Amino acid sequence: MEKRKQLIKLVVSVLIIAAAALLLAGFFGGDLMYHLKNRDRIGPLTREDIAYLDVAAPNPTGSDGTANAADWAQTYPEIVATMGIVKDRNAYILDYLEQDPYLVNLYEGFGFAKEYGSARGHEYTLKDVANTARPHPTANCLTCKTPNFTKLVNDQGVGVYTMDFNEVLAKMEENVSCYNCHGNEAGSKGKLVVTHSYVTKALGENAAAIDPATLSCGQCHIEYYFTPEDKETMMPYSTVEAMTPEAILEYYDTMVLPDGTVGYADWVQPSTGTRLLKAQHPETETFLLGKHAGILNCADCHMPLEMSEDGTVYHSHELQSPLENETLLSTCAACHDEPDMTAFVRRIQERVTARETEVGNNLSALKDKLTEAVAENRLSEEKLNEIRKLHREAQWFFDFCYVENAEGAHNSDLAMRCLDTAQAKIDEALAALLSGAGVAAQ
């Protein structure tokens, strides 16, 4: 009897210790374990199949000291070759203004009303920035286009952002390339290095919370603004938690400008007088707030692992849609039980896009009514400003969804939340326009 009791005691203790160990592991390493476990079993090849090289950097031949793609061609022929590939899908520009004509009205008074085409592959960055009809008075537009600009900022400081665009453009040698994501350290087992200084400035130590293969893309595929003081490229947050459209709006709303006034605006719209914001391409924010954050990184879905004829396993550096690549598509099945992954994604995108068109047109109609009210001078300035504030907010939420390039695939909940918020603000503004209809101008 005594023996049985002792045995039970022993079993219970062992169980308690095991449970505590599991809890601790869950506490300290749970996320990581889940992360690795899932990442390792996605797709036919894994990162463990890569024979990472630890080799000295080549003598950089970029005239600014950057090791360029040609410099790495001997060491990493597959990576250099894939980086240069651009398939049809990423070679054309879709004219958004033609596809969604209401945009011309929404962006009135700003460069995007003149030209707004879809993004395309990394091989076109310099060509596209040089040819855009949007005005670019200063060199800061080159921030996300070429490693040579990144290096220039790192060498000479933020004064570079206000240099003459064409003068700086003439010195640029490569489209997005090795230095942007690896510095000159690609030889150190493909180490990823944050070279864009504003990322470090904005996030500081909080950057460590982001997977390097996501942060790497998050140097450019993000929402940003140009600081009013010196036109430096900057991100409007310092933590992952503050990457929501709500928190970013607050950041802009409460920013103290050099003249002492409060509230950042990208432009003041001529017809409505609204101080508007232009969202950029918040892929990283949208992804980090979504369901794959913490279990996958950008490379998992956009850079397939491939094997060359001699057996070298590497990440393809042709950044592509997972729906256009069989290897990437096959990795989805590790977690998704969908017979047709492409159709699954397209259904989400169609739902988001349809709502986008609806809200976009409603926003355009609101803008017309506000323009009318301003022109007729029939509302008090106070009332107008109340409506302008709603207009600014509605457009911000709409834009945050519209300009994100995955059209809902990265995070459909966030996309729908943005559009619903925009619609609610539009309704509120319209009601205010009506209720204020009788108020005489002061």
235 binds ligand HEC (CB under 6 A): no
Shorter beta-carbon distance to ligand HEC: residue 2 or 309: 309
Minimal distance, residue 10 CB to ligand HEC, in Å: 39
**Three-state DSSP class for residue 186:** coil
CB of 285 to ligand HEC, least distance (A): 8
Q: 379 with 441: CB under 8 angstroms?
A: yes
Query: Which tokens hold the place of 388?
Result: 């302008």
Q: Is residue 118 near ligand HEC by the rule CB under 6 A? A: yes
Task: State which H helix or E strand residue 373 sits in.
Answer: helix 341-376
Interface pick for ligand HEC out of 103, 107, 125, 274 (rule CB under 6 A)? 125
x/- map, 287-326, ligand HEC, by CB under 6 A: x--xxx--xxxxxxxx-----------xx-x-x-xxx---
Structure tokens at 194: 């944050």
Query: Binding to ligand HEC by residue 130, rule CB under 6 A?
Result: no
Q: Which of residues 90 and 364 has its CB atom nearest to ligand HEC in the complex?
A: 90
Choosing from 106, 158, 163, 181, the residue that interacts with ligand HEC (CB under 6 A) is 181
CB of 360 to ligand HEC, least distance (A): 19
Beta partners for residue 225, in sequence order? 234
State yes or no: residue 195 binds ligand HEC (CB under 6 A): no
- Of residues 50 and 265, the one with the C-beta less far from ligand HEC: 50
Q: What is the DSSP letter of 124?
A: G
- Residue 314 bridge partners (DSSP): 306
For helices 412-435 and 341-376, the axis angle rounded to 10 degrees is: 20
| Cα gap 61→430, rounded to integer Å | 59
Query: Does 327 contact ligand HEC by CB under 6 A?
Result: no
Question: What is the closest distance, in whole angstroms, from the C-beta atom of residue 127 to ligand HEC in the complex?
Answer: 7
Q: Does 362 bind ligand HEC (CB under 6 A)?
A: no
CA-closest candidate to residue 138, choices 162, 160, 120? 162
Quick check: 66 binds ligand HEC (CB under 6 A)?
no
CB 234 to ligand HEC: min, Å: 15
How many residues make contact with ligand HEC (CB under 6 A)? 75
Binders in 376-405 for ligand HEC, by CB under 6 A: 405
Structure letter (DSSP) for residue 284: H
Two tokens, residue 51? 């024979």
For residues 316 and 82, is the Cβ–Cβ distance under 8 A? yes
Q: What is the Rg, in whole angstroms, of the alpha carbon atoms belonging to the chain?
A: 25
| Contact yes or no for 222/285 (Cβ under 8 A) | yes
Binding of ligand HEC by 199 (CB under 6 A): no
